[in-house]
A and B are shown apart, each in its own frame.
Chain A
Amino acid sequence: MMTGHILLVDDEPAIVKALRPALRALGHEVTVAKDGTEALAAAMLGDPDVVVLDLGLPDMDGKQVIRQIRESRSTPIIVISARHQEQEKIAALDEGADDYVDKPFVLGELLARVRAALRRKRSETEAPLRFEAGGLSIDFGTREVRLQGEVLKLSPKEYNLLRMLAESAGQVVTQKRLLAAGWGRSEADPQYLRVYIGMLRQKLEERGGAAHMILTEPGVGYRLELPNFT
């Protein structure tokens, strides 16, 4: 079981009260901040492993908090957003947040996101040469991709997209970041992305991959979901 130090930023005491016991029960250390100022101080001084951030803060814009954390830290950030903040949420992800959950969320969903974030945090610190999970293996040095042991032939663009998704496996990757990875320009037409993701899905499924390895997050981006990964 992966545990870590979690910074929980929410101005709703009720939600903090409800979440804290579960996180603690899983062995996480929990720090609570009720506004942006407290959050920034805790993020810089406490050096948490994961930040769970509610976008609706009383004193400052959630995006601003993300920007300021990103200036000096690569700490994974999970955003909590209400459904009417769709644009805010995408902007927050583009600003550098790693994932999101919509309010009202289910506890299990948030805990899964936290696990994925902790995994990324650990894999980053280990600077891996290869990715291996759920039957998918990618060698970052030789650019060889195998699914269930069989080599998968991918075009350079497809490889870049898959690597990007795998590096954030279990987490959402925004269209902008994928476009930047595949085409070098984040403002390219998302239509290309849909076409390449479609081809990638087909190749994965042909080689016996799960039907929905690459999940679509409408309007936001894509998420690689691997069995037995988290």
Chain B
Amino acid sequence: MVWAIAAPFCICQIGRVKIALPFPLTAHRQRPALGLACTALFSALGVWLAPYLGEGYAALVFVVGVSVVGALCGLSVALAMALLGALAFDFFVSEPVFKLSLRRVTDLAPLVVFTLSALISGLLSGRLRDEAMRANASNLHLQNLLDIARRLQRANSAEQVYQALQEGLADTWGEGQRLGLFRDTGGQLVELGSMLDDPQAPIMAREVVGGPAEVLQIGDMVACRLASGEGSTGALVVQGAGLDAGFLLAKGRLAALALERVALARQLAEAHAQARAEDLKTALLSSVSHDLRSPLTAISTSAASLLEFGASFDAETSRELLAGIVEEAARLNDVTTNLLQMTRLQDGGANLLQTPLSVGETLLSVVERKRRGGVAQRLVLVGAEQELAIMGDRVLFDLALTNVLNNATLYSPADSTITIACSRHAQGCKITVTDEGQGIPAAEQALVFDRFYRGTNNARQARGSGLGLSIARGFVEACGGRIEITSPVAQGKGTSLAIILPLMVSQDLHEGGFMSKEGA
């Protein structure tokens, strides 16, 4: 009976922070038994000592007992034990012994004293225990906030912020909580992530973002504003039992900071990307102005010469001017093709169409085209008959190989040999283009793949745009391969460029075959 009264009293004292209890709740139920044992022990002691100490001193033993119970078991148990102790005192110690007698006023004195001491010790110990619990709870909150702060620090996107909050809340209140995170983008609330299906949640979120209250609690839902240096940035809404609004607000501040940091990081990345794009544009413009103007000037001048003085030119001169026009037009075409393909590779080649390509066939076509166009060196092709296939963009693969070959012809003397070879390699297939030129100085080797870089060591005119090898590398990297340079090759001369590409695997065949059929 006492118990039934005592139990709700205990829980009431703990209030909302029951989850923060350092010990299991069941421990309290055993306390009345402890109180009873304690009371029995001290009562027995008092009864045993009564003949030696007299009635008055024996009562003190009973008081000590009640106080001990109050300290150990709290107010309610102590009060119950005070009543029990008073009855025991009356029955066993006070005259007449073995009889309950409440005839005199003094017979009530032990009951009053016992109750008072139970009250004092019980209240004091209860308060102490509450304090301890509160300290413990706020300790846990702090620990939890720290955990969340740590998690949020690692978050690199709004989704990760949501994830971190979710995990943090689950740690605090268990798995039963549902969380919604909203961002305020110019008066419009955007859901960054939500497991709330209550239609009230967005309404509450809007209320805390726009309204005067920072926190709003309706039923089992709490909404709090995400406030940062720039003012309100959104709202956090949590649904679940036993939520602490103040604690949520603290979490909301952390989340707001994390979201702000994520936004700033994104802005920074965008600014960097823009600066890089600007640099590229400048380089592109100056390259375009040279690479397009020179052939254009040559074409326009040759054509104007023919038009104006054609009649006075001999056949040889006219033919040379016409040949020059054709040659320069081809060069213009090369430059524009490279510029166009460069832009396709801009984003790392993510949007390129991957089709199965035969390495041997492509090499053969590139080398034959080069021979038809006229080349001062001997071109030797080795291993083109092998069945090697890769996945890649057809135009770019052709262009990459053409560029590498052009580079070799541009930087090596007439009548030397350029060897183009392809073979199976541990990581796929290996294509090498080896020339007998003067080689590339070690310091320049890392630069040759940079956009708009032109070699300094060529005896003849460098007519490249500085885009060729950059495109070759862009293509190779988009295919998951790599490109390497070896120079000198032998006797301090020659350069060998190796392209290593992963071979097509059979499942690509399906996909790729289908795609190429569609493309055809």
Contacts and interface: CB of A to CB of B under 8 A. Distances in A.
Interface of A: 11-15, 17-19, 21-22, 25-26, 34, 56, 58, 82-84, 103-108, 110
B506 interface: no
A83 B289 CA distance: 7
B313 interface: yes
Given A18-B302, A83-B289, A11 B461 contact: yes
Given A19-B301, A25-B309, A107-B308, A14 B289 contact: no
B298 interface: yes
A58 B457 CA distance: 11
A107 B305 CA distance: 7
B297 A84 contact: no
A84 B301 contact: no
A12 B290 CA distance: 11
Nearest to A15: B298
Contacts of B298: 12, 14-15, 17-18
The 4 closest A-B pairs by CB, nearest first: A107-B304, A25-B309, A14-B298, A18-B301
A140 B297 CA distance: 40
A103 B324 CA distance: 17
A8 B332 CA distance: 23
Interface of B: 285-286, 289-290, 293-302, 304-305, 308-309, 312-313, 317, 320-321, 324, 327-328, 331, 461
A75 B191 CA distance: 76
A17 B320 contact: yes
B297 A22 contact: no
Contact of B300 (A21, A84, A104): A104
A195 to B, nearest CB: 34
Contact of B328 (A14, A26, A56, A108): A14
Contacts of B327: 14
A25 B461 contact: no
A14 B294 contact: yes
Nearest to B285: A84
Contacts of B296: 104
Contact of A84 (B289, B299, B309): B289
A105 B324 CA distance: 17
A171 B90 CA distance: 133
Given A22-B309, A56-B290, 5 more contacts: A15-B297, A17-B302, A18-B299, A103-B297, A104-B296
14 contacts: A15-B294, A15-B297, A18-B302, A19-B301, A19-B305, A21-B305, A21-B309, A22-B304, A22-B309, A25-B309, A56-B290, A84-B289, A104-B300, A106-B300
A56 B299 CA distance: 19
Contacts of A14: 294-295, 298, 324, 327-328, 331
Contacts of B300: 104-107
Nearest to A19: B301
A24 to B, nearest CB: 8
A15 B301 contact: yes
B374 to A, nearest CB: 15
A127 to B, nearest CB: 34
A103 B290 CA distance: 9
A110 B298 CA distance: 13
A158 to B, nearest CB: 38
A25 B313 CA distance: 7
A143 B293 CA distance: 45
Contact of B305 (A22, A56, A83): A22
A139 to B, nearest CB: 38
A133 to B, nearest CB: 24
Most chain B C-beta atoms within 10 Å of own C-beta, residue among A14, A82, A104: A14
Most chain A C-beta atoms within 10 Å of own C-beta, residue among B298, B308, B313: B298
A106 B321 CA distance: 16
B312 A25 contact: yes
A82 B290 contact: yes
A103 B312 CA distance: 26
B285 A13 contact: no
Nearest to A25: B309
A103 B313 contact: no
Contacts of B331: 14
Contacts of B289: 82-84
